[in-house]
A and B are shown apart, each in its own frame.
Chain A
Amino acid sequence: DGGITQSPKYLFRKEGQNVTLSCEQNLNHDAMYWYRQDPGQGLRLIYYSQIVNDFQKGDIAEGYSVSREKKESFPLTVTSAQKNPTAFYLCASSINRANEQFFGPGTRLTVL
């Protein structure tokens, strides 16, 4: 079964802690993306990667970091520098430019 998995589904973090969200795809897609969604808002792009070992900042990259060591995996680290990290985080992938993106089920992060 091809698709995108994200883990965990729910994540709780204390202030000042870094936390890493997992995203794995078995669709053989080159491009992967991380979005943040806040209540009542559309999606905002955090980071994207077009190929392994390469990634670019999106619109709201401050306080986040990523890596792309394998084609299948694109983990997102929410650092303590992110001032308001409580949100729903969505990972996506696409086969190439201009094609539609496929989404994982999301991770809801809550900072206590």
Chain B
Amino acid sequence: AQSVTQLDSHVSVSEGTPVLLRCNYSSSYSPSLFWYVQHPNKGLQLLLKYTSAATLVKGINGFEAEFKKSETSFHLTKPSAHMSDAAEYFCVVSEGNYQLIWGAGTKLIIKP
């Protein structure tokens, strides 16, 4: 059975410092993996997706994520945080059966 664990409910970083949001998954097959971002009271926007091509995936707004099969991880990173990055981030796994399995979310706080 699929599952997704976001290891931190909140992450706080200073503006200009690196961001790391951690995600571990379990899947019986080769999964598709996604990161979505949600700003307060808004819908969700796709940041990036992994679908068995390159293991390092680049997304929008300077974010990237690395698929590590041996560690069953898909952590999201950004070299330098910006105030506009403050939002909630969701890691998602899919085995192609129309149902996405959502992590509980990580709230990213940016300190000035």
CB-defined contacts of A68 to chain B, threshold 8 Å: none
Interchain CA distance A44-B102 in the complex, whole Å: 8
Interchain CA distance A101-B99 in the complex, whole Å: 10
Interchain CA distance A43-B105 in the complex, whole Å: 9
Q: Are A105 and B42 in contact (CB under 8 A)?
A: yes
Q: Are A42 and B90 in contact (CB under 8 A)?
A: yes
CB-defined contacts of B45 to chain A, threshold 8 Å: 103
Q: Smallest distance from the beta carbon of A52 to chain B beta carbons, Å?
A: 15
Please tell me which one of the listed residues B43, B49, B97, B98 contacts residue A105 in the complex, with CB atoms under 8 A apart.
Answer: B43
Q: Smallest distance from the beta carbon of B59 to chain A beta carbons, Å?
A: 11
Chain B 20-53, CB-CB to A under 8 Å as 1, else 0, gives 0000000000001010100001111110010100
Q: Are A42 and B41 in contact (CB under 8 A)?
A: no
Interface size on A, residues (CB 8 A): 26
How many A-B Cβ pairs are below 8 Å? Answer: 53
Q: Are B102 and A43 in contact (CB under 8 A)?
A: yes
Q: Are B51 and A42 in contact (CB under 8 A)?
A: no
CB-defined contacts of A106 to chain B, threshold 8 Å: 41-43
Please tell me which one of the listed residues A40, A97, A104 contacts residue B97 in the complex, with CB atoms under 8 A apart.
Answer: A97
Q: Are B44 and A98 in contact (CB under 8 A)?
A: no
B91 nearest CB neighbor, chain A only: A42
Q: Are B98 and A42 in contact (CB under 8 A)?
A: no
Contacting A at CB under 8 A, from B28-84, are 32, 34, 36, 41-46, 49, 51
Q: Are A90 and B105 in contact (CB under 8 A)?
A: no
A105 nearest CB neighbor, chain B only: B43
Please tell me which one of the listed residues B42, B94, B95, B102 contacts residue A42 in the complex, with CB atoms under 8 A apart.
Answer: B102
Q: Which A-B residue pairs are the 6 nearest by beta carbons? A: A98-B96, A42-B102, A103-B43, A103-B44, A105-B43, A43-B102
A-B contact pairs, 26 of them (CB 8 A): A4-B43, A6-B43, A40-B104, A41-B104, A42-B90, A42-B103, A42-B105, A43-B90, A43-B102, A44-B102, A48-B99, A88-B41, A94-B98, A97-B96, A97-B98, A98-B32, A98-B96, A100-B46, A102-B46, A103-B44, A103-B45, A105-B42, A105-B43, A106-B42, A106-B43, A108-B41
